[in-house]
Structures are given as structure tokens and as C-alpha cells.
Chains A and B, each alone.
Chain A
Amino acid sequence: MSDGPLTLTINGKPQQFERVPDAERLLDTLRWRAGLKGTKEGCRTGGCGACTVLVNGEPTLSCLVLSHEVSGENVTTIEGVAAEKVGRIVIRAFAEAGAVQCGYCTPGFVVALAGQLQGDGTPPSVASLLDGLEGNLCRCTGYRAIQKAVVAAREALK
């Protein structure tokens, strides 16, 4: 198969793309074909977390995933996360904690955190939430404010 069509459910809407190269990464399909540029492009090598999206609800580095690999799956980007309750709470917590400076890392953090907080029942412990953010780099905030946002978002969802 080469340059084949691709179907993805993005933020709940099924979408079709024609002639998507085999080697195309999910990050690029989302940003340049679906026009969803809230997912940020950082290192493209799995090292920074800026490109985090949810694939079937799981936080995933979209720069490491080939689009055809996730053909037919459910992809949620920051735009989708921001439209839901958990996402709104997380975004609010980041803003209130002063955890947003340049903001380039923020959508990735928000998605990675919202992904862990989704679902019913008690949210995971703060320690395990922070473990889930070990792959997200922030160069501006020094992480202290992000840690506060994690605690606040978890409290708000308890």
C-alpha cells in the first residue's frame, strides 16, 4: 500500500483523507490535513510530549505514530479535549496555577493529564499523574506551577 486513503475518527467525527503517504505521521495528518494545529510539533522524536493526543483515550505521542497504523481509530486532540468537561477543568487549573508561559508545551500537558483523569471513579494518585507527565517537557515554568495544576485539577474532579 502506498499513498492510500485514510479514515480517522477525530474528536468524534469520522474523516476521510485521500492519498496519505505510508510514512506520514499522525502529527502531520492532524496538523496539515485536518487543520488541527493545537497539537504542537516539537522534537518529532518522542522526546518532548508537545504532540500528545489521545488514541482511543490513551495518551500517545503523535509524532511517533504512522497515520495508517491508527486507521479507523478514535483520535482526540487538544481541540477535542478542550471541548469536554475534564479538559475544561484541566485548562482552567493550568491557567489559574500560572502554569502557562510560552504555552507551547501546554496542550501536550493538558491532553496527557486529561487522558489520565478521564473516566469514572477516583482519579489516580498525584504521584501516578506526575509519572504520566514524565514524557512532557516544559522549558519555561520549571514545572512547579504545573505540579500545582495537577493537584488542583485532580481535586476538582474528585
Chain B
Amino acid sequence: MIRSDAEPKARGALEYGTDLEAPGMLWAALVRSPIAHGRIVRMDLSPARKMPGVVAVVGPEDLRTLLPKAALEAERPVFPLDEIRYRGEPVAAVAAETLEQARRAAATIEPEVESLRVDARIEDIFPEWPSPAAAKDPRVVGHVHARFGDVDAKFRSAELVHSETYRTSGVHQVAIEPHACLAEVRNGTFHIRSSTQTPFGLRDDVASILGIPESRLVVEGTWVGGGFGGKGAAFLEPYAVLLAIASGRPVKLSLTFEEEFELGRTTLPSIIRLDTAVHRGRIVARRVRLLLDTGASLPGRDFAVGYSIGFLLGPYRTTAYEIEGFALQTNKPPFGPHRAPFAPQSVFALESHIDGLARRLGVDPIEFRKLHAWREGDRTAYDQPVGPIGLEAGLEAAARTAGEWRAGLPSGHGIGVAAGFWSTGVGAGGEARLWLRPDGLTILEGEREIGNGSVVQGLALVAERVLGLPVEAIRVEYGDTATAPFDSGVFGSRTLGALGQAVEKAARSLANTLATRAGAQTVQLEMKNDRVLVVAGRRRQKLVDLLTPEERAAGGIEAHGKHYGSERKIDASRVVTGTVYPYQDFTAAVHLAEVEVDRETGHVRVVRYAAFQDVGKAVDSASVTGQVEGGVVMGLGTALSEEMLWTPEARLANPGLLDYRLPRIRDVPPIHVEAIEGFAGAGPFGAKGLGEPPIIPVPAAVANAVADATGTRVYELPMTPERVARALKLL
């Protein structure tokens, strides 16, 4: 089935954030800090104000007069009021008649700065592994420590202890569409149009940053040219709003790719230490320690570390464990979500470690995982119940395929397996409004399709299944935050699971109303000559005939559905310090990679790939394939080539596509995609979200294949030819 947005997108007919335009619009440019850490001693904005075409220039001082409340909101300042925290941090913004004029004026503003000591890397803060007392260092912005069971005793009595350290790098979402938004003030209301994954979240975020009441802010999403987590929270919008207030005109702000990279809120480097105690062939205790670079952190960075660290325990039964994580503030741009935030990195470390351990024990890596893998009814490390999960089934399917591959494996090739779990965010709430009209069904939503199909295709398919109406007769319409029903946004692989349930409920209530009116138990809808027919048993009647006079006047019948998840509980007695975050609605992914390693250059070629994805119940198999293939290839970038490189002064050395290498069309191997069904999720019909899971095991699967091919393990991402060659002692 062809997605309704496919051809219009391919023809270039849809409007994205970068395409936004308004009559009388000005173009904006940002003035960015030339240093990574310091103070602004003086910044003269007046010459820029006199530049040709310039209409407004705003800096920290203007903030105080334009929006005094925003200036007081010190936690997330629009402009640094005191300290500059990373290189490229916006310190002022300009709006002019043309983009060229805005950029030229911005370039004339050269703040006089006083530099402070720069922390560029984790090692700058902690050259040695920190003791718990190190949490007092002001650069530790998050500290989490949890334990369960008699860890020390089990380590002491274990037959074998496997200890390793892994390192991961910063990677960027690199949506092909840069961030872009347009802000204007209409009758005292602030209107923002933006390429965003979360219109409602953006509204609340901008309101809090600028100190504007939410009721005076309206956000309308455009089509999104790739999000991957990077288009969630407020980013450019506050600057555009400020300039719109200062100039009295609509203001468009979009980023260059250099700015995308330098301002990027994305995955930053980490160091991970894993110790595992084994007794009688089984894991009996584990220690997991994480140092996570969270950059020029915003408040709440304990979330980054507290959420990430659980992925280091993996989807395995754990009898005794201790975890400790530190979120470290450096002078890089802030950490931010990037498709399954930090899970591919965690899983790279954990699944490399488990694989190496299995090899050390001389047991089959898949069998070793199966010994410990979560099954329904198990409890997580925080004592949450594990629901239906297709992990064992995935491992078994992978074992079969691995056996086939192994049979004809050329020398120099290797096969690697890796498993991962994900917590799909079905708990985050959402609502849907359905309009059934005599000629079809409309689903009204506040958020746009961001690409994976969960809105434009997924929601329509849910309504189709409940009502029987063909998907061609179902339209998804998008409103703004003032008119559309609330939804949390497209993130966390939640859209189909959570919003789908809202649509399902609304569709069921429509069906029930019509059934009552038709005097039947249930009804189905069908289309005939572009008219909706209501089928009750053997009776068919036109929808119009079942509508009340009011509904006929209004043009149809409306239904509203809501889904709000309940809060998940954890066993708080296991937490010593900080916050760990509960997971929910588990899904699993098991991947298999075959690689060939060039023994001279260290170059790794992925020969073929297989992904076994727990989907609960596939709502649309084409979308499953598309999500998995896309996730796998993005993961191959993380595994092999993508790496943000910072200098000791915390300057990003490769802020562009030239030196930050993404997978290209000739790089991708054949990818076998297999949906594992039968382990129902919380979504409609048992569906599970799958925007993020397919990227999670990829770096680990490739790393394990490299180890299988060479007998040597690579302990750092990405596995560039240079790193592999060094591991093979070729360099």
C-alpha cells in the first residue's frame, strides 16, 4: 500500500520548516560565541544595527527589556547572562531584509570575551576513574548509584570475573533538513511554525524559556525533514520570537549545517566499565559504571545518565548488581536525544562484553544470552515486571540464520550477534479527534508525520481496522496547538502505541454510537460511490441517514479518544543516590552481521545483515521494513564512520558532511528483516513501537562480527579503519 504522503513529497509539493515564508518576513542569523568557556566582557551591537537591511538586533541586554521574565529564567537562558558554556553558543541574534544582510551584520558583532578553563573531554575532569566522593565536583551534574543483592560477596566467590572498559563517541542526528522555524506576533499572540516532532512540548518549552503564558503561544508543525530526536525541545524558536517582538515582523530562522553540528544537542562521548562475575557458567553479579559527557548541560542531566544506565544491564536477569553513573559537564554543546538516546552506545559496550565473555567461557554466544534473557514474567533490575517480549524468539531465529551463514563463510569473514531491548514510551499521553463525514473519515492531529509513517499511515490503519473503512477514505489533517487535540509528540517510539490507542478508542466510540442508532450490536463501514455506508448485519444504509439534524448541519459526527498511560513503579530501595528511570512496554531486537575485515587497512565491510524485530503485531509490514532498514543503516554509521571530533579547546573539528561520514547508497549491505510477532505490546492490536529499536544492536553486532573475523576486539566507537588497524596491531 502506498503512503498518502509519498508522491506529494517526491514531487516536492509539501512544505517543510525550511520552506516557510510569510509576507513581510525578515531573515535571522545568530551571533555565536568564539570561545568554549568564558565571559562576555563587552559586546557592542550598535554597529550591526546600522548595517544595511538590518531591522532588529537582540542580545542579553535586550532580553532584559523585551522579556524581563525570560532574563530571570536563569536555568535555560536564551543568551548567556553570565557564562558562555560552549563554542558557538548564540550570544545575540539579528533580523534583516535578506539572509545575506542578516549574516553579514551578525559577522560584524565580535564580543570581547574573557576565557575560562575549558573542559573538553571526560578525561579533563577525571583522569582516573572517580570515587563516589567525586560527585561533589561541580562539573558532576548528575550522579546515580543503585545496587541490589550481595554484589561484593558474589564477586569474591566467583569462578571468573570479566572486566572491560569501552569508549563511545559523539554522533549527530544529521537530519537532511536543518532546523528551521518562523515566528510572528499576531494580535498579541505569538505564532510559531516549526519543523518539530513535538508541537505541544515546543509550546510549553518556549513559554517557560521566554516567560510567556502558554495561552499566548500557538505552535504549528510543518512537515519534518527527519527528526531522530533532534527536533523536540525548543531550540531556535525563542530567538525567532524575540526578533519578531523586537522587529514587529515575521522572522524566519534556519541553521546552516555548520551550525547544526556546532549547536547540536546530541549524543556525546562516554566511558563505560563493565565487570561481570560468573559462577558455574552463569552470570551471578555485575558492576556497571558510566561516565557520560553531557556537554554544556542544561538542568536535568541526571535523566541522561539515569535513563541510559539501565541499558547497560540489558535484557538479562540480574541477581546482584551495582550501577553507578556520572553525568559530566564539559564545554561541548548540550547532550540531547538522538534516536534511542545512548542505547546503541550502551549496547555496544554490554553486548561486546557479553560476547567476549561467552567466547572466554567457550560457549555459544547466542546460547549464553538465552540462558539469561528476559522472558515474560521476569523482573527487571528495578523490579518492574517484564511483559510479553520476543527476545528468546529473536535469539532463536538469529541462531538459525547464523547457522546458515556460518555454513559457507569465507575465510576473513566473521559473524556477530547482538541483542537489545527498548522501552517504548506508550505512557506518554495523547488524544485524537475523529470526524466521520458522509464522504469519509478525518483524523485531526496536532503533530505532523515526521517520516516513519506512524501518523500518516499508522493512525489511518488503526482506524481502518476498527471501522472497516478503507484507508483511502481516511485523511489525517493537522491542526495547530490552539485547535488540535493534545499529544505528547513523535518520540520514544510511542506514536503508534499511545496515539494509536487514542484513535482506536475514538473509532470504537463512533462505531458504538452508530451501532446503537442502527439497532445492531456492531457495525462496519464501507465506501460506495464515495459515500460512507453503515453495515449492520445484512443491512446497509447511508451514514447520512443515521445522523441527527445537528450532525447533518455540522457535516458529520465527531468522536474524541484519549490515551494516558499510568505511572510505572520501581523498587526505590535499590536506589542509593540519584534517580533511575523505569522502563515500560518492552520490545526487543536481535541483530546479526557478517563482515569482512581488510587485514591491511583495517577497513570493515558489512557483507550482509539480518534484523529480528519484536513488533508485537505488525500494523503495516512495509513500515516495519522501512523502519528497520533505516535504523540499521543509521546504526552502521554509528558503528563504522560517524564521529564528532573536538579539539582540546572544545572546538568541533568536523562540523559538516565533508569530514563526518554518513552511509551512502553503495555502502549498504543486503538487510534481511524479520518481524517477530506473538508477544503483544500495549499498542493497538498488540502493536509495539519501532522507531528506535532497530538502531540499538547495530554497533554491537558489527563489533562482534569483527571480533569473530579477527579474534580481536575493538573497544571504541566508531570502528574506523584506523582503530581497527590499531587493534590488529597493524599500526
Q: Is the CB of A40 within 8 A of B16?
A: yes
- A residues within 8 A CB of B175? 102, 104, 139
- A residues within 8 A CB of B629? 141-145
- B residues within 8 A CB of A144? 625, 629, 633, 668, 670-671
Q: Is the CB of B666 within 8 A of A103?
A: no
Tell me the B1-28 residues at the A interface (CB within 8 Å). Answer: 2-3, 5-7, 9-16, 18-19
Q: Is the CB of B13 within 8 A of A38?
A: yes
Tell me the A78-106 residues at the B interface (CB within 8 Å). Answer: 78-79, 82, 91-92, 94-96, 98, 100-106
Q: Is the CB of B657 within 8 A of A43?
A: yes
Tell me the B166-223 residues at the A interface (CB within 8 Å). Answer: 173-178, 223
Q: In the complex, A122 Cα to B13 Cα: how many Å?
A: 30
Across the two chains, which residue of chain B brings its CB closest to A131? B666
- A residues within 8 A CB of B256? 44
Q: Is the interface of A mostly helix, strand, loop or mixed?
A: loop
Contact A134:B10 (CB < 8 A) given known A40-B18, A140-B451: no
Q: Is the CB of A45 within 8 A of B257?
A: yes
Q: Is the CB of A137 within 8 A of B3?
A: no
Q: Is A115 an interface residue (CB 8 A)?
A: no
Q: Is the CB of B626 within 8 A of A141?
A: yes
Tell me the B582-638 residues at the A interface (CB within 8 Å). Answer: 622-623, 625-626, 629-634
B95 to A: closest C-beta gap in Å: 16
Tell me the B88-130 residues at the A interface (CB within 8 Å). Answer: 100
A135 to B: closest C-beta gap in Å: 8
- A residues within 8 A CB of B18? 40-41
- A residues within 8 A CB of B668? 142-144, 147
Q: Is the CB of B10 within 8 A of A100?
A: yes
Q: Is A42 an interface residue (CB 8 A)?
A: yes
Q: Is B662 an interface residue (CB 8 A)?
A: yes
Contact of A40 among B2, B173, B225, B227 (CB under 8 A): B225
Q: Is the CB of A94 within 8 A of B176?
A: no
A149 to B: closest C-beta gap in Å: 10
Q: Is the CB of A91 within 8 A of B451?
A: no
Across the two chains, which residue of chain B brings its CB closest to A108? B176
Q: Is the CB of A95 within 8 A of B6?
A: yes
Tell me the A35-52 residues at the B interface (CB within 8 Å). Answer: 36-45, 47-48, 50
Contact A47:B3 (CB < 8 A) given known A101-B630, A130-B665: no
Most buried by B among A43, A142, A147: A142
Contact of A37 among B12, B228, B623 (CB under 8 A): B12
- B residues within 8 A CB of A139? 173-176, 226, 228, 630, 634, 662
Q: Is A136 an interface residue (CB 8 A)?
A: yes
Across the two chains, which residue of chain A brings its CB closest to B20? A37
Q: Is A107 an interface residue (CB 8 A)?
A: yes
Q: Is the CB of A40 within 8 A of B12?
A: yes
Q: Is the CB of B223 within 8 A of A103?
A: yes
A77 to B: closest C-beta gap in Å: 8
Interface size of B in residues (CB-CB distance below 8 Å): 56
Q: In the complex, A106 Cα to B176 Cα: how many Å?
A: 11
Q: Is the CB of A44 within 8 A of B12?
A: no
Q: Is the CB of A134 within 8 A of B658?
A: no
Q: In the complex, A41 Cα to B17 Cα: how many Å?
A: 10
Q: In the complex, A112 Cα to B9 Cα: how many Å?
A: 15
- B residues within 8 A CB of A31? 19
Q: Is A146 an interface residue (CB 8 A)?
A: yes
Contact of A133 among B632, B657, B665 (CB under 8 A): B665
Tell me the A102-158 residues at the B interface (CB within 8 Å). Answer: 102-107, 110, 130-131, 133-134, 136-147
Q: Is B453 an interface residue (CB 8 A)?
A: yes
Contact of B177 among A39, A96, A104, A134 (CB under 8 A): A104
Q: Is the CB of A143 within 8 A of B663?
A: yes
Q: Is the CB of A145 within 8 A of B10?
A: no
- A residues within 8 A CB of B419? none
- B residues within 8 A CB of A39? 12
Q: Is the CB of A143 within 8 A of B13?
A: no
Q: Is A72 an interface residue (CB 8 A)?
A: no
Q: Is B488 an interface residue (CB 8 A)?
A: no
- A residues within 8 A CB of B228? 139
- A residues within 8 A CB of B634? 139, 142
- B residues within 8 A CB of A136? 665
- B residues within 8 A CB of A57? none
- A residues within 8 A CB of B16? 40, 104
Q: Is A23 an interface residue (CB 8 A)?
A: yes
Q: In the complex, A103 Cα to B670 Cα: how many Å?
A: 22
Q: Is B274 an interface residue (CB 8 A)?
A: no
Q: Is the CB of A94 within 8 A of B10?
A: yes
Q: Is the CB of B671 within 8 A of A102?
A: no
- A residues within 8 A CB of B686? none
Contact A98:B657 (CB < 8 A) given known A106-B9, A139-B634: no
28 contacts between A and B (CB under 8 A): A21-B100, A37-B19, A38-B13, A41-B178, A43-B257, A45-B657, A47-B658, A50-B176, A77-B12, A91-B10, A94-B10, A95-B10, A101-B453, A101-B630, A104-B176, A107-B10, A107-B12, A131-B666, A137-B657, A139-B176, A139-B228, A142-B626, A143-B665, A144-B633, A144-B671, A145-B625, A145-B626, A147-B665
Known: A94-B6, A95-B6. 7 other contacts (CB 8 A): A39-B12, A96-B2, A137-B176, A137-B662, A143-B629, A143-B665, A147-B665
